Chain A
Amino acid sequence: MSASFEEKSVWIQVVSLVVALGGYLVAAFWMARAGVTELAAYMPLFVGAVVVQVILLIVGHTAAAIVQKPEDADERDRIIAWRAEARSSWILAIGALAAVSMLAMNVETVWVAHVLIVALFVSTLIGYVLQMIDYRRGF
């Protein structure tokens, strides 16, 4: 498979997102099931997930840059990114709307935070998958 640096970057971002934020969501799910409802209890886990994600992004992009000379995004890369964002950002918007509605209904803030993070995760992941499809299939 011959992939441009930008396409490889998308793959690296998917892996880091799934491992770090996906890992956070799985752990948070079990914490919620165990009855943890204090938002502060999730903070160390979330900060840890963000740190892991940043490390994975740095390591992944460094490795990719060693294998292949990095290139700036060209017009196709930019269009693919725009197309993916246009088709996936509605998920985050719905999540934000749901979070605001939950606040209006006095739902505990921990659940509002969960909804926002799930929406961010799903929206971002679908955006990356759409980019992968456009890179491979064309448009």
Chain B
Amino acid sequence: MAKAKNPVSNRIRKLRFEHDEMTQADLAARIGVSRQTLNAIEGGKYSPSLEVAFRIARVFHKPLEEVFAFDGGA
């Protein structure tokens, strides 16, 4: 059975580059996860908890919906 597409998308990669090309390791350290976990979030392989999502948005000084989007149904 094929794995369902993750309905949560994000703009983390773009935002990192807009913020002085922040590395994954830097962002991961600031939000308290491993670099591999941030990589999984960025690549859509893992949907973070609400707390981590808010931490990421706070680092970029953006509201949550400018970082994450829900592309699933109702």
Interface residues of A (CB under 8 A from B): 2-7, 71, 74-77, 137-139
Contact = CB atoms under 8 A, between A and B. Distances in A.
A69 B32 CA distance: 15
A74 B33 contact: yes
A6 B39 contact: no
Chain B, interface size category, equals 10 to 19
B34 interface: yes
B36 A2 contact: yes
Q: Which 8 A-B pairs have the closest CB atoms?
A: A138-B45, A4-B36, A74-B33, A4-B34, A76-B37, A74-B37, A71-B34, A76-B46
B43 to A, nearest CB: 8
A137 B7 CA distance: 16
B contacts with A: majority SS? loop
Interface string B4-34: 0010000000000000000000000000111
A71 B37 CA distance: 12
Contacts of A3: 36
B40 A138 contact: yes
A67 to B, nearest CB: 14
Contacts of A6: 34
Contacts of A139: 3, 45-46
B35 A4 contact: yes
Contact of B32 (A4, A7, A74, A77): A74
Interface string B38-74: 0110011110110010000000000000000000000
Contacts of A74: 32-34, 37
Nearest to B39: A2
A7 B36 contact: yes
